[in-house]
Structure 1
Amino acid sequence: MPARLHYELLQTNSNHSARAQDLFMQILAEWRIDVAVVAEPYSVPPQQNWVGDTEGLVAVVVPAAGTQRISLKEKGAGYVAVKWGEVVVIGVYFSPNRPLREFEQFLGGLEPVVQRASPAQVVLMGDLNAKCAAWGCPITDQRGGGSIVDVTFATPAIGARIGDWRVLEEVETLSDHAYIRFRVSKAPLGPQTRTAGERGGDFPKWAISRLDLELAEEAAMVRAWSADPLNTLGGR
């Protein structure tokens, strides 16, 4: 079998369902996923290929038999950062039932996590439960309420290597969240191979540090996360 020229990434929310998590693990194997983030897992097994946050709210997973391992960099309530090759993958989850003030504090706490990952490139995936037109929601409000919004952010250098970002609404997940799947090229994508979303077509992109302040306040994205700003690859 020829060597692949890209890595496959996946993210979802299992909604604390054992059946959804079992299906998720089956999908990882069938699709040959290299690394994945699952929010609200049913459980975080005590295995080397799973690394979770301190509250069991989100985890990063790689195949048990895979060659690319993950190692913990740091974790807290609702976030976990792991080293995956030359990349830092951060999985996040924030409950829609918590107030806006706590959401702002949570986002502010992610800023130093991203900064400490430097000079490594960062991919951040997860469920922030916040509606914002900046990442594709039809409406913007102060907090997501009961929204189901999963987002993907990346620092620019690795963002240029991401393609084929898509929400797989036709695939059964046994959860109320769809799978989000995308690829990271092992070499930077050329201008002719970039996806429509990366060219500013189907999927919105924005730098948090350059957000309109009023919109940022509404979305609770009130701070820049790093000097090397994270870009949105997409949101659902």
Structure 2
Amino acid sequence: MPLRILQINVDRRGAAQKLLAKTIEEEGVDIALVQEPNIRMTSNNPRWILDSTNTCAVFCANPGCGVVTHVKGQGFVCINFEDWSLYSCYISPNISLEAYKERLHLILDQVADSKNEAIVAGDFNAKSPSWNSPITDARGTYMDAAFQAMDMVVLNEGSTPTFARGATASYIDVTFATQKISRLVHSWRVSTGESLSLHRYIFYNINKGNVTPKKEWVERPRPQADVFKDAFRIAARGVIDVKSMVKAIREAQDLSTVGIQAGQNRLQPVWWNEEIEQLRIICNKHRRSLTRARGRDTPQTIIEELEVGYKSGRKNLKRAIRRAQRRKWDELCSELEEDPWGRDTK
């Protein structure tokens, strides 16, 4: 089966990273390439690999996808498969052109030194017609020439911007590939669904197939000790024999392992509910209406009304996520207060 890849800059936003968890689960994503992750939300989870500057990361949603090793550098994370590599990259817009060139060559030198077929993706904050930007800047011109010199091609397709702030749209999230592996990538697209980030989700598939991962990559998710203790006290209430004890331990481990849904390898927020789902649908409708209006000869007054509706929808979705998380935590605390020893007293 092909590998399902998601690429996104979440702008350090907690709400965007929380929604990312649900999107990964719904879309069947194997690997997420994330730029500007929320650092607090990546800690204590071995499936997150961050670069040396904490500006980009890889999240392995499927531990059986075939990754064997990884390399972390300044502005990039590289995960290596048996005969090819996948990169998550970020270069800040707030550095000089010379510093930009140096960061870019750190990435390209790693690609050249590895001698692997490679897919290099991320937020490069550069503009060029080669990836459908109507604007060209010095960074884009230089980066385009640098990747061409490496005989790598751009995989971006379509005219949907990868970044939008108000009426301003940009094409700054790019996916490159070496010639051979580029022919195995398909269904590259920019999603118009809500991400709660200024950037949009990018999805694509790689027809490399899943293989058995080597031992140096495989890591079982580590439960959070304090959460495990609390969860076990609750789960152990019904323990009457060895079988039920084993079940209680497994339930506590699933609950306390960051980002993992019980019984699955994929990410699933335990706080997700029907209210959040409906608010996301509403938010997506507002976003699509606003995007269509901006692409047509729509009066400014109508666009402003649509902007108000979209901003309100985003705010309601963020608030609902925060409420749901607090409610889940309060439920756990309440159960512990009622039975702190994990067993019913008579």
Quick check: TM above 0.5?
yes
Which one of 58, 67, 71 corresponds to residue 60 of structure 1?
Answer: 58
Which one of 29, 34, 38 corresponds to residue 30 of structure 2?
Answer: 34
Measured after TM superposition, the shift of residue 143 of structure 1 is 3.9
Larger relative strand fraction: 1
Instruction: Give yes or no for contact 1:128–1:149 (8 Å, CA) kept in 2.
Output: yes
Query: Partner residue of 2:103?
Result: 106
- Letter paired with 1:38: V
- Segments of structure 1 that go 5 or more residues without pairing to the other structure are 188-236
Query: Partner residue of 1:45?
Result: 43
Measured after TM superposition, the shift of residue 67 of structure 1 is 1.4
- Greater radius of gyration (CA): 2
Q: Which has the higher contact order (CA 8 A, sep 6+)?
A: 1
State the identity %.
32
CA, structure 1 residues 71+41, in 2 after alignment: closer, same or farther (shift >3 Å)?
A: farther
Instruction: Give yes or no for contact 1:49–1:69 (8 Å, CA) kept in 2.
Output: no
Alignment of structure 1 residues 1-236 onto 2, 5 Å:
5-43=1-39, 44-63=42-61, 66-68=63-65, 70=67, 72-118=69-115, 120-143=116-139, 149-169=172-192, 171-186=193-208
Measured after TM superposition, the shift of residue 22 of structure 1 is 1.0
Match of 1:66, SS state, is coil
Measured after TM superposition, the shift of residue 37 of structure 1 is 0.3
- Aligned-partner Cα distance in 1 for 2:32–2:171: 18
Larger relative helix fraction: 2
Instruction: Give yes or no for contact 2:74–2:106 (8 Å, CA) kept in 1.
Output: no
- Aligned-partner Cα distance in 2 for 1:99–1:148: 20
CA, structure 1 residues 104+113, in 2 after alignment: closer, same or farther (shift >3 Å)?
A: same
- Aligned-partner Cα distance in 1 for 2:183–2:70: 24
Runs of 4+ aligned residues of structure 1 deviating over 4 Å after TM superposition are: none
TM-score, with normalisation over the residues of structure 2? 0.49
- Segments of structure 2 that go 5 or more residues without pairing to the other structure are 141-167, 210-346
Instruction: Give yes or no for contact 1:121–1:157 (8 Å, CA) kept in 2.
Output: yes
- Letter paired with 2:99: E
- Aligned-partner Cα distance in 2 for 1:16–1:80: 17
What is the RMSD computed on CA atoms of the aligned residues? 2.0
